[in-house]
């Protein structure tokens, strides 16, 4: 375990134990990793997305501070953060499709914006629906996809978060990707 990992885990345990100062110490350590996760989540979006990485991090942070979770360690924290960011992106996509075309657009500086096409919101919703269907069939495969692709976790971190081996992650990922590709394939 790296020094940074140990620090995050220790601070999470202190925070869970009621030490509010631990959260103040934790934020500077986790911020850059949350920024990386947000960038990865937004990179997975289709071109045309208007949500900024910084806004995604801040929204996720606000939700994570108020979530009632028994934090286990650094990997567990980032796994939950990845799920929260995915949920925010899905909510954003749903809200975006409810707006009339062109209505309510807010200018966003290009330095933090990710460009997206008009079909992106529908694709995000379709992907979310497919992951929900997969979770009903095989929750672990759905979790693996979320942690690797939305969360940006490594095979080893995903394995640790799910208490399985990296080889199992690799094997199940192959099956999950095949199922997801078939499920997302246009029917006609």
Write b or e for each residue in 27-39: b if 16 or more Cβ atoms lie within 10 A of its Cβ, otherwise e: eeebeebbeebbb
In tens, the pLDDT along 6-44 reads 888 899 889 888 888 988 898 888 888 888 878 777 765
Task: Provide the β-strand partners of residue 48.
Answer: 116
In tens, the pLDDT along 99-108 reads 544 444 444 3
| Dihedral sign for Cα atoms in the order 124, 55, 25, 20 | negative
Q: How far apart are CA 141 and CA 118, in angstroms?
A: 29
Tokens matching residue 51: 């949500």
Q: How far apart are CA 166 and CA 99, in angstroms?
A: 42
Range list of H helices, 44-154: 53-66, 74-98, 120-137, 139-145
Q: What is the pLDDT of residue 47?
A: 54
| Dihedral sign for Cα atoms in the order 12, 14, 15, 21 | negative
Mean pLDDT for 112-135 is 64
Contact 11, 26 (CB under 8 A): yes
Average pLDDT value over all residues in the chain: 76
Q: What is the pLDDT of residue 45?
A: 59
Cα three-residue angle 74-69-176, rounded to 5 degrees: 70
As a whole number of Å, the end-to-end CA separation of the chain is 50
Q: Which residue do the tokens 């991090």 mark? A: 57
Q: Which residue do the tokens 């690799």 mark? A: 170
In tens, the pLDDT along 57-115 reads 888 888 888 777 788 888 888 888 888 888 888 788 777 665 544 444 444 333 333 33
pLDDT higher than threshold 90 for residue 168? yes
Coil, strand or helix at 153:
coil
Q: How far apart are CA 130 and CA 59, in angstroms?
A: 24
């Amino acid at each position: 375990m790296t020094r940074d990992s140990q620090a995050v885990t220790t601070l999470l345990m202190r925070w869970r134990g009621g030490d509010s100062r631990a959260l103040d110490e934790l934020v500077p350590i986790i911020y850059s990793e949350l920024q990386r996760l947000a960038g990865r989540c937004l990179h997975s979006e289709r071109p045309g997305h208007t949500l900024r990485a910084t806004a995604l991090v801040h929204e996720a942070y606000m939700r994570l501070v108020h979530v009632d979770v028994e934090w286990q360690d650094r990997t567990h924290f980032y796994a939950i953060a990845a799920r929260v960011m995915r949920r925010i992106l899905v909510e954003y996509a749903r809200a975006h499709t409810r707006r009339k075309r062109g209505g309510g657009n807010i200018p966003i500086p290009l330095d933090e914006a990710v460009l997206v096409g008009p079909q992106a919101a529908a694709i995000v919703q379709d992907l979310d629906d497919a992951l929900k269907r997969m979770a009903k069939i095989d929750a672990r495969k759905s979790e693996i996809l979320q942690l690797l692709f939305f969360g940006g976790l490594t095979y080893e971190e995903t394995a640790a978060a799910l208490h399985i081996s990296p080889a199992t992650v690799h094997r199940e990922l192959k099956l999950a990707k095949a199922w997801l590709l078939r499920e997302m394939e246009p029917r006609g």
